[in-house]
Structure 1
Amino acid sequence: MAKSGSVDVEDRQYDPDDDHEFPTERLNVVLPEILSDPEITTYLQAQNVNAVTRKGYNDHGTKHIEIVRNRALRLYELLKTSNIEFNGATEQGLSGADEPVIIALAATLHDVGHVVHRDKHPYYSIPLAADILDRFLPQFDFYDIEQQVRMKAEILHAILCHHTAEDPLTTEAGIIRVADALDMERGRSRIPYKKGGRGIDTLSSQAIDRVSLQSGSDCPVLVKIEMINAAGVYQVDNLLKAKLRDSGLQEYVRIVAVNTRGGDQLVEQIEL
């Protein structure tokens, strides 16, 4: 993440030792426990079996979760830098320090439903994540029973809304929906495709070379997508733009896709 005063610097990994534009005291206690929890770690590995081993789709496991969590926290920081209001924790009577914890846990657990089935996996994620949270949250002395319930409510809401017809009702949930789509570099598309396929989903996902999150000149967040050919436009339009729509973040995020290969004149730059 960017250090205070240099938020335009794109950095993919959340660093608890950096200065941040949001309260980190609770996140920095919870995050190491997330990363070392054996049940969570096993779920992240197991959820790839149905998606990758059995259906031949792209990665939905540990690496995907790491990318989504880091990009969700990056989105959160850029929005906080621009003083965008968050309503999830606040409306539950929780503190601002709980917002990044909600985001980190929702990002980590949003795909656990894949252990049941890829199809309709967000709905399967809800009871599984609820059980994990019932065990996980009580270890922190800053969450009493009431706060545990309210934290769980916000985390589950964000999980449900990441990939379903249900629109996010909180800014925190909107971040999870958009961050999920930002794992799209070099074939890591969130539009499932069969490995080795030659359809538009596969070809367009392979066209995305790099995704970076920066402070925008006229909006809080600039998502810059570098493509190696024009096929990447399909990926951006049908995945990222679709997820941004109705996320609640539309007015805060600008997407610019740039074709970095000069020989392809179909698309040089497109703003969405």
Structure 2
Amino acid sequence: MTDATDAGGNEGSAGRIYDPEGAHAFPDERLNAVLEYVREDAEIQAYLSAQNVNPVTRKQYNDHGEKHITIVRNRALCLYDLLKEGGVTFNGAREQGLDESDEPVIVALAATLHDIGHVVHRDDHPYYSIPLAADLLDRILADLPFYDVAAAVRVKAEVLHAILCHDTAEKPLTVEAGVVRVADALDMESGRSRIPYEHGGRGINTVSSQAIEAVHLRTGDGVPVLVEIEMTNAAGVYQVDNLLKAKLHNSGLEERLRIVAINTREDTDRIVERIEL
């Protein structure tokens, strides 16, 4: 992890960006090769652009394009790293007979492809993501040098499970899937709602996102991960107490994360100063 500026243009601190050159609590060679492949693949990048049209352009909803995917993938990998550092055992790759080094590959690919179903429709998009991601994964995994047919099928299965379970209608059966699900909700900072807000969008998702200043992941006290959320007004409570809480529920990470949101604004009366999940 690194303290550089993050994908949203915010000055970073711990737990915001996955650094391939950094020291990690897991074997990272396969993951770093996958990240390079994804970055250079024209079809994947085209999907990340096209999948933003329905939610943002047509429905004035928050960003679900390239920036969202970059932030979610970074948060997912930072969350994964902190959980590994905290001694959490992951079951997805292990129960498929895969290697530990395949755990972050599953997390990264699911985070990258979880929203491509938006090219079909915003509604029920996780279910549309499955066949589209399945086709891409067949090619991606065949191109990578470390998977035979059997291993590729098992990695694909775990990635698709995590993609489906980023939606609250489905319960994750693996810790890898739980990481992707929670990371999706951790993209809540104000930059995500900039486009719909500038075009007059004033729905609760947009307004509440505008109130979130920063999200940080750190080593927790008594739990593997502390999630710190800075908000500028009480509207941000919706992001924390509704959206993030819903994603955390049944994720398998409930006892492994501590989430604290603080109202940092000092120039007015504060209806909410601090909440903790």
Per the shorter chain, which TM-score range? over 0.9
Query: Structure 1 residue aligned with 2:271, among 237, 243, 266?
Result: 266
Retained in 1: the 8 A contact 2:211–2:233?
Answer: yes
Give the % identical residues. 69
CA distance change for structure 1 residues 198 and 118 in 2, over 3 Å: closer, same or farther? Answer: closer
What are the residue-to-residue correspondences of 1:51-200 with 2, within 5 Å? 51-186=55-190, 188=192, 195-200=199-204
Are 1:51 and 1:60, in contact at CA under 8 Å, matched by a contact in 2? yes
**1:201 corresponds to 2:205:** yes
Contact 1:102 1:172 in 2 (8 A): yes
**Residue-by-residue CA offset, 1:52-93 (whole Å, 9 max, x unaligned):** 122222210000000000000000000000110000000000
Provide the secondary structure at the position in 2 that maps to 1:66.
Answer: helix
TM-score by length of 2: 0.92
For residues 227 and 196 of structure 1, the distance between their equivalents in structure 2, rounded to whole angstroms, comes to: 21
**Cα deviation per residue 1:179-228 (whole Å; 9 max; x = unaligned)?**
00011001526xx9895233433322211111111111121111100010
Q: Which runs of 4+ in 1 moved over 6 A?
A: none
Corresponding letter in the other structure for 1:264: D
Which residue number corresponds to residue 254 of structure 2? 250
Which SS does the other structure have where 1:254 is aligned? strand
Deviations, residues 77-133 of structure 1 (Å, cap 9, x unaligned): 000001100000000000000000000000000000001111000000000000001
Larger CA deviation: 105-114 vs 192-201: 192-201
Equivalent of 1:18 in 19, 22, 43:
22
1:225 to 229, 234, 237: 229
Farther off after superposition, 225-234 or 98-107? 225-234
Corresponding residue to 1:29 among 12, 23, 33: 33
Q: Tell me which amino acid in the other structure corresponds to 1:67.
A: I
Alignment partners' CA distance in 2, 1:128 and 1:250 = 30
Q: Equivalent residue for 1:6? A: none
Measure, in 2, the Cα distance between the counterparts of 1:11 and 1:123: 30
Q: Supply the distance in 1 between the matched residues of 2:231 and 2:88 (Cα, whole angstroms).
A: 30
Asked if structure 2 preserves the Cα contact closer than 8 Å seen for 1:58 and 1:195, the reply is no
